[in-house]
Amino acid sequence: MDILELARKAGMQVLLDAQIGQQSYHSVCGSLTALQRFADAVCAAKTEQATVQSNGAVATSQSSAATADSTDAAPPHPMR
The pLDDT tens digits of the residues spanning 3-44 come to: 999 999 999 999 999 999 999 999 999 999 999 999 999 999
Digit-coded pLDDT (tens) for 52-68: 888 876 555 555 555 55
pLDDT at 8: 97
Residues contacting residue 18 through CB under 8 Å, at least 6 positions apart: 24, 25
How many helices (H) and strands (E) the chain has is answered by 2, 2
pLDDT at 62: 57
Using DSSP, state whether 47 is helix, strand or coil.
helix
Length of the chain: 80
* Cross-strand partners of 12: none
